[in-house]
């Protein structure tokens, strides 16, 4: 079974042989490192009388801990003792592992680069050369990314602070875009943001990551949202006569860069709706029946067929009223239009 990390007060209080050798080699060799892909280097010492630990590996790396493993030094049998040191930003810790080949080190800082070094120790104080590895703990990504609200031109998104960063300076980078456009990138130290100047009826991809003061970024968390397709605005009846009516509306907000048109439907009670489309903001409805009430609806339609909510109004065409008059002894009938507009 492996030994769990403990802080060696004796080693931390003053430099013992292990600390002196490590310090000398860091000064002379500028921290020979082993990257996470397994390339291994060693730091040599003039007192190289014991074989170093073999196959120094990282078994598990989290945001605040690391699990290390190694094999027995070549040529040594029986119980062995190893000295392990690790440090970040000048803060160094050390522990001694007896009779095991595994060590779990906890309480590390998320997203920080650590230097780990290990050497074989003899009972008589002899020590092997140091084997070293350099790696970074995981920087946690934002948690529980969600879309809180969406309207035609904006959307509110939020997330939770990732674990382990209470004492670490950080902020968040947000990127969002719709297909075929360059991403908009912004940053915040808050846990929420309102994305503005969006296009109505459009799907957006949104990503958020944690960023440290040195620019190191976590993995991305992502979501998608679709803004509301706005309905036509200020639908009104401009004029009505016996067989036709003119209606108009305003362009809804957030569609300046979006291809769209309008679908108009109108009918009187008991009849099938007449449906037509236009790219204009007005239309004249023709072939209507005099003295009849019509229901009129208009909606916005995108190129992919997506429709907005309907806006509606009613209108009543004018009645045809015959008027009898005598002129030169001849009866003449006039049609008087009774103008009505609901």
Q: Mean pLDDT over residues 147-157, rounded?
A: 95
User: How does strand 102-105 pair with strand 3-4?
Assistant: parallel
Span 95-102, average pLDDT: 91
Same-domain check for residues 18 and 119: yes
Burial 271-310 (b: 16+ CB within 10 A, else e): eeebeeeeeeeebebeebebebebebbbbbbbeeeeebee
Q: Same domain, yes or no, for 129 and 66?
A: yes
Give the CATH number for residue 130.
2.60.40.10
Do residues 54 and 85 share a domain?
yes
**Other Cβ atoms within 10 Å of 101 Cβ, number:** 18
Is residue 112 domain-shared with residue 185, that is, in the same domain?
no
For the cut 50, the answer to whether the pLDDT of residue 254 exceeds it is yes
Q: Which of 226, 253, 280 is the last residue of a domain?
A: 226
Say whether pLDDT at 23 is over 80.
Answer: no
In a domain, 326, yes or no: no
Residues 184 and 164 in one domain: yes
Q: Compute how many other C-beta atoms are within 10 angstroms of the C-beta atom of residue 145.
A: 18
Q: Is the pLDDT of residue 244 over 80?
A: yes
pTM value > 0.75: no
For 97, residues 6+ apart whose C-beta sits below 8 A from its C-beta are: 2, 3, 81, 82, 83, 84, 103
Number of domains in the chain: 3
Which tens digits make up the pLDDT trace of 288-324? 999 999 999 999 999 889 999 999 999 999 987 665 5
Same-domain pairing of 163 and 128? no
- Residue 33 and residue 114 in one domain: yes
With a pLDDT cut of 70, the percent of the chain lying above it is 80
End-to-end CA distance of the chain: 87
Q: Are residues 121 and 150 in the same domain?
A: no
Q: Which residues contact 16 (CB under 8 A, 6 or more apart)?
A: 10
**Closest Cα partner for 133 from 147, 150, 119?**
119
Note down the domain range covering 174: 143-226
Domain termination residue (choose one: 136, 153, 173): 136
Same-domain status, 273 and 301: yes
Q: Which of 127, 132, 44 is nearest to 85 (CA)?
A: 132
Q: Is the pLDDT of residue 2 over 60?
A: no
Last residue of a domain, one of 203, 226, 249: 226
């Amino acid at each position: 079974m492996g030994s769990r990390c403990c802080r060696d007060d004796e080693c931390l209080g003053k430099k013992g042989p292990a600390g002196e050798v490590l310090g000398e080699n860091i000064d002379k060799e500028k921290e020979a490192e082993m990257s996470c892909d397994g390339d291994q280097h060693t730091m040599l010492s003039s007192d190289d009388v014991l074989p170093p630990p073999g196959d120094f590996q990282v078994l598990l790396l989290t945001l605040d801990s690391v699990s290390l493993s190694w094999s027995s030094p070549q040529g040594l049998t029986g119980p062995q003792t190893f000295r392990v040191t690790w440090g970040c930003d000048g803060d160094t810790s050390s522990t001694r592992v007896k009779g095991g080949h595994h060590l779990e080190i906890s309480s590390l800082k998320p997203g920080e680069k650590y230097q780990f070094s290990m050497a074989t120790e003899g009972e008589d104080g002899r020590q092997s050369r140091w084997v070293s590895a350099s790696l970074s703990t995981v920087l946690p990504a934002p948690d529980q990314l969600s879309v809180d609200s969406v309207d035609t031109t904006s959307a509110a998104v939020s997330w939770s602070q990732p674990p382990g960063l209470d004492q670490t300076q950080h902020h968040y980078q947000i990127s969002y875009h719709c297909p075929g456009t360059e991403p908009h990138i912004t940053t915040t130290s808050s846990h929420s943001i309102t994305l503005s100047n969006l296009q109505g009826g459009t799907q957006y991809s949104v990503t958020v990551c944690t960023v440290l003061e040195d620019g190191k970024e976590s993995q991305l968390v992502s979501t998608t949202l679709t803004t509301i397709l706005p309905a036509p605005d200020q639908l009104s009846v401009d004029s009505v006569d016996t067989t036709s009516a003119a209606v108009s509306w305003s362009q809804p907000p957030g569609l300046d860069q979006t291809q769209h048109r309008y679908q108009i439907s109108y009918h009187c009670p008991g009849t099938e709706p007449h449906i037509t489309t236009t790219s204009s903001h007005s239309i004249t409805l023709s072939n209507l029946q005099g003295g009849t009430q019509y229901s009129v609806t208009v909606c916005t339609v995108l190129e992919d067929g997506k429709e907005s909510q309907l806006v509606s109004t009613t209108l009543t065409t004018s009645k045809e009223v015959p008027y009898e008059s005598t002129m030169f002894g001849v009866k003449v009938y006039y049609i008087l239009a009774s103008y009505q507009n609901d």
